[in-house]
C-alpha cells in the first residue's frame, strides 16, 4: 500500500563529529528516500544540520553556543545543506524544495494553512519537500523552539496526516537502560503507552553536533501518536533500512497508536496555540473530559490561574498536577473564578456568559491518553 511518510534526519546522521557535512551520508539518505519513492510512497524530509554544516565554514572551532553565532552558522549551512541534497536527489531523478518553518508559523492558523497548501502542491507534483527550522530567525531561549527538529517532524507529520513518522537516530531504538553501561539493557520493540517511566529510561543529551536526545524523540512520538501517526525511532545505516522501517521490520522502536488523525483546528489547539492560563479541575470533571468526551462545566473547576479572555486557549490540569489537555475557553478569567464550583443553574443566575460550558467538547483536545478513546 502506498503511503505518506515523513522522515526526520538529525545533525549527527548527516555530519562528522567535528562538524561539516558528510556527503556520503547525504548520498545514502537520498538513495534510501528515493527507494521509498520507487515503492510508491509520498515522502517528506525533515532535516537538521544547517548549524552543524555552517559553523566550521564561518571559522568557529566548535559548535557555537551564542544565538547570533548559531544563526550566522545556519545562514551559511542551510545553503550548503540544500546544495548537497539537491545534487544527491538529482542523481535519482527527483526534484526537491526547501521549506523553512518556525514555531510561530504553526501558532498562526493562516500561515500554517498556507504552508499545508504549499506542501500538498509540491507532493502532488512529485517534488520532495525538505523541511527545516528557520534557525536564522528562531530564538533559542523561547520555550517553543523545536529542538533538533524532533518536535517539528511530529507537527509536520500531523499536519499532512502522514501514515508514519520515521525518526532516524544514531541508536537502534529505546532501551530499558544505557546499553553502553549496562549489558543487561534490552531494546523496547513496541510502545503502546508513552508513560513517565518511558521518559525516565530515555537518558540525557544527544551528540556534540546535535541538540536532540532520546527524550526529545519520545516527546515527538507523543505528539505524533496523539495525532494518529505511528512512529519509528531507530537507525538507518545500511541500504534498505528505511524501507524496512516503513514495513515495521526496522532496527528500532515502534510507537503505536489507535487514534484517528486530528483536524487542523484541534492540532492548533493542542500543539500550536499558546495557552493564556490554566483551570484545575476535580476528579469528576477529569473523568468526564478524558474518558467521557464531555464538555467542561463550571462545577468541576476548583482553581483558576492566569489572565485570559473568552476565545483564548487554556490548559486544563487534574488534581494531581497532570495536564489533561487544552481548549478554547468561553469565560474570562475573572468570570471563571466567580463561577468555579457552582452549578450551571447558579452560574446563569449570577453571571452573564454566552455559553454555560467553560470549554465545549468541540473546542477541546485531550492530551492525557491513559483513559482516552479515539477522537477525531
Q: How confident is the model at residue 203 (pLDDT cuts 50, 70, 90)?
A: low
- At residue 138, the pLDDT reads 61
Whether residue 281 contacts residue 318, with contact meaning beta carbons closer than 8 Å, is answered with: yes
pLDDT tens readout for residues 178-202 = 788 888 889 999 999 888 788 777 7
Read off the pTM: 0.86
Question: Cβ(7)–Cβ(44) under 8 Å?
Answer: yes
- pLDDT confidence of 371, banded at 50, 70, 90? very low
Residue 10 has pLDDT above 50, yes or no: yes
**Taking residues 23-31, what's their average pLDDT?**
96
Residue 147 is predicted with a pLDDT of 58
Quick one: pLDDT band at residue 52, thresholds 50, 70, 90? confident
Lowest mean pLDDT among 73-82, 99-108, 320-329, 337-346: 99-108
Q: Does pLDDT of 346 surpass 50?
A: yes
List, for residues 290-311, the tens digit of each pLDDT value. 999 999 999 999 999 999 999 9
| Residue with grid cell 548559531, as numbered in its chain | 70
Question: CB neighbours of 48 closer than 8 A, spacing ≥ 6?
Answer: 8, 9, 10, 11, 14, 132, 133, 148, 149, 210, 212
Give the range with max mean pLDDT: 52-56, 108-112, 163-167, 372-376: 163-167
Question: What residues contact 127, with CB distance under 8 A and at least 6 apart?
Answer: 94, 95, 96, 97
Q: Looking at the DSSP assignment, which residues form a beta bridge with residue 175?
A: 187
* Distance separating alpha carbons of residues 79 and 60, to the nearest angstrom: 17
Q: Output the pLDDT for position 212.
A: 47
- Show the cell assigned to 160: 499532512
The pLDDT score that the predictor gives to residue 316 is 98
74, pLDDT greater than 70:
yes
Per-residue confidence at 369, pLDDT binned at 50, 70, 90?
Answer: low
Compute CA 201 distance to the chain's CA centroid, rounded to the nearest angstrom. 20
Least confident piece of the model among 90-104, 112-126, 170-184, 233-247: 170-184
* First-to-last C-alpha distance (Å) of the chain: 23
Which residues fall within 8 angstroms of residue 336, CB to CB, at 6 or more apart? Answer: 279, 298, 301, 304, 329, 358
pLDDT band for position 139 (cuts 50, 70, 90) = low
Question: How far apart (Å, rounded) are the C-alpha atoms in residues 264 and 148?
Answer: 24
**The Cα angle at residue 123 between residues 233 and 32, in degrees rounded to 5:** 40
C-alpha to C-alpha distance for 28 and 236, rounded to whole angstroms: 9
Q: Residue 188: its pLDDT value, please? A: 93
Q: How far is CA 205 from CA 25, 158, 216, 255, in A?
A: 22, 25, 9, 21
What is the reported pLDDT for 208? 41
Q: Residue 215 pLDDT > 90, yes or no?
A: no
Mean pLDDT for the stretch of residues 26-50: 96
Q: Averaged over 129-141, what is the pLDDT?
A: 75
* Cα–Cα dist 272/113, whole Å: 12
pLDDT at residue 280 is higher than 80: yes
Q: What percent of the chain has pLDDT over 70?
A: 91
Model confidence pLDDT, tens digit, residues 308-325: 999 999 999 999 999 999
Q: How far is CA 82 from the centre of its chain?
A: 23
Q: Over the Cα atoms of the chain, what is R_g?
A: 22
Mean confidence (pLDDT) of the chain: 89
The three cell numbers locating residue 307: 489572565
Instruction: Please name each of the domains of the chain with its CATH number.
Output: 4-261 (3.40.1160.10), 275-366 (2.30.130.10)
Grid cell 546535535 in the structure block, residue: 210
**Which residues lie closer than 8 Å to 261 by C-beta, 6 or more apart?**
158, 161, 227, 228, 229, 376
Question: What is the b/e burial string over 193-214, where b = at least 16 CB atoms within 10 angstroms of the residue's CB?
Answer: ebeeebeebebeebbebbbbbb
With a cut of 50, say whether residue 143 has pLDDT above it: no
The pLDDT score that the predictor gives to residue 376 is 35
| More confident of the two residues 2 and 98 | 98
Give me the phi and psi of 360, to 5 degrees please: -75, 145
Asked whether residue 252 carries a pLDDT value surpassing 70, the answer given is yes
Q: Which three cell numbers stand for residue 169?
A: 537516530
| Predicted local distance difference test score (pLDDT) of residue 239 | 96
Bridge-partner residues for 96, per DSSP? 128
**Mean local confidence (pLDDT), 225-230:** 95
What would the pLDDT profile of 112-122 be if each residue is shown by its tens digit? 899 999 999 99
What local confidence, expressed as pLDDT, does residue 364 receive?
97
What pLDDT is attached to residue 196? 78
pLDDT of residue 236 exceeding 60, the answer is: yes
Amino acid at each position: 500500500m502506498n503511503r505518506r511518510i515523513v522522515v526526520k534526519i538529525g545533525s549527527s546522521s548527516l555530519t562528522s563529529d567535528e562538524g561539516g557535512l558528510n556527503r556520503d551520508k547525504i548520498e545514502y539518505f537520498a538513495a534510501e528516500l528515493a527507494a521509498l519513492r520507487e515503492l510508491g510512497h509520498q515522502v517528506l524530509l525533515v532535516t537538521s544540520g544547517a548549524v552543524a554544516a555552517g559553523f566550521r565554514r564561518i571559522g568557529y572551532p566548535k559548535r557555537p553556543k551564542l544565538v547570533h553565532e548559531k544563526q550566522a552558522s545556519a545562514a551559511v549551512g542551510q545553503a550548503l545543506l540544500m546544495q548537497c541534497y539537491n545534487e544527491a536527489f538529482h542523481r535519482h531523478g527527483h526534484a526537491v524544495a526547501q521549506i523553512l518553518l518556525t514555531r510561530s508559523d504553526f501558532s498562526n492558523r493562516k500561515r500554517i494553512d498556507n504552508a499545508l497548501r504549499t506542501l500538498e502542491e509540491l507532493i502532488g507534483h512529485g517534488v520532495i519537500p525538505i523541511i527545516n527550522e528557520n534557525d536564522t530567525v528562531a530564538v533559542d531561549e523561547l520555550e517553543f523552539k523545536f529542538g533538533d527538529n524532533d518536535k517539528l517532524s511530529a507537527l509536520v507529520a500531523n499536519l499532512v496526516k502522514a501514515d508514519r513518522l520515521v525518526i532516524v537516530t544514531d541508536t537502534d531504538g529505546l532501551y530499558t537502560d544505557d546499553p553502553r553501561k549496562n549489558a543487561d539493557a534490552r531494546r523496547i520493540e513496541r510502545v503502546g503507552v508513552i508513560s513517565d517511566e518511558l521518559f525516565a529510561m530515555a537518558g540525557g543529551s544527544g551528540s556534540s553536533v546535535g541538540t536532540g536526545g532520546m527524550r526529545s524523540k519520545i516527546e515527538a512520538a507523543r505528539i505524533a501518536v496523539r495525532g494518529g501517526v505511528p512512529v519509528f525511532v531507530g537507525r538507518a545505516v545500511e541500504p534498505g533500512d528505511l524501507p524496512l522501517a516503513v514495513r515495521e521490520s526496522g532496527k528500532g522502536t515502534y510507537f503505536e497508536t489507535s487514534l484517528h488523525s486530528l483536524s487542523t483546528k484541534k492540532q492548533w489547539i493542542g500543539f500550536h496555540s499558546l495557552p493564556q492560563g490554566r483551570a484545575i479541575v476535580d476528579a469528576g470533571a477529569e473523568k468526564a473530559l478524558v474518558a467521557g468526551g464531555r464538555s467542561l462545566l463550571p462545577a468541576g473547576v476548583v482553581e483558576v490561574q492566569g489572565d485570559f479572555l473568552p476565545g483564548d486557549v487554556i490548559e486544563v490540569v487534574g488534581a494531581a498536577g497532570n495536564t489533561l489537555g487544552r481548549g478554547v475557553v468561553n469565560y474570562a478569567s475573572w468570570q471563571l473564578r466567580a463561577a468555579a464550583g457552582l452549578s450551571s443553574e447558579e452560574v446563569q443566575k449570577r453571571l452573564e456568559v454566552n455559553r454555560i460550558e467553560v470549554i465545549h467538547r468541540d473546542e477541546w483536545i485531550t492530551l492525557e491518553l491513559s483513559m482516552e478513546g479515539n477522537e477525531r
